[in-house]
Structure 1
Amino acid sequence: MTDSHADSTPKARKASDKSARTRAREFALQALYQYIVGRNDATDIDLFTRDLAGFHKADSVHYDAVLHGCIAQADSLDALITPMLDRPLVEVSPIERGVLWMGAYEFQHCLDVPWRVVLNECIELAKSFGGTDGHKYVNGVLHKLAAQLRPLEVAAAAPRGKPAPAPEGSNL
Structure 2
Amino acid sequence: MSAPSASPAKKNTPALSSTGARKTASKPPRSRAREFALQALYQYLVGGNSIESVDAFTRDLSGFGKADSVHYDALLHGCVREAAALDAAITPRLDRPMAEISPIEHAVLWIGSYEFLYCLDVPYRVVINECIELAKAFGGTDGHKYVNGVLHQLAAVQRPHEVAADAAKGHSAAPASN
Same fold (TM over 0.5): yes
Name the Cα RMSD after superposition: 2.1
1:100 partnered with 2:109: yes
Partners in 1 of 2:75 and 2:145 — Cα distance? Answer: 22
Contact 2:152-2:173 within 8 A present in 1 as well: no
Q: 1:170 maps to what in 2?
A: none
Q: Distance in 2 between matches of 1:120 and 1:91?
A: 23
One-letter code aligned to 2:144: H
Identity %: 66
Map of 2:15 onto structure 1: 10
CA-CA distance at 1:160 after TM superposition: 5.0
TM-score scaled by length of structure 2: 0.84
Task: Report if the CA contact (8 A) 1:26-1:125 is conserved.
Answer: yes
Q: What pairs up with 1:71-86 in 2 under 5 angstroms?
A: 71-86=80-95
Q: Deviations along 1:56-81, whole A, 9 cap, x unmatched? A: 00000000000000001111111000
Structure 1 runs not aligned, ≥5 long: 166-172
Aligned to 1:58: 67
Question: CA 1:158–1:40 in structure 2 vs 1: closer, same or farther (change >3 Å)?
Answer: same
Q: 1:111 aligns with which of 101, 113, 120?
A: 120
> 1:163 deviation in Å?
7.7
Shift of 1:10: 3.5
The equivalent position to 2:156 in structure 1, one of 139, 144, 147, is 147
Which shows bigger deviation, 153-162 or 105-114? Answer: 153-162
Q: 2:35 aligns with which of 21, 26, 29?
A: 26
Any gaps of 5 or more consecutive residues in structure 2? 1-5
Which residue pairs with 1:169 in the alignment?
A: none
**Contact preservation (8 Å) 1:155, 1:163:** no
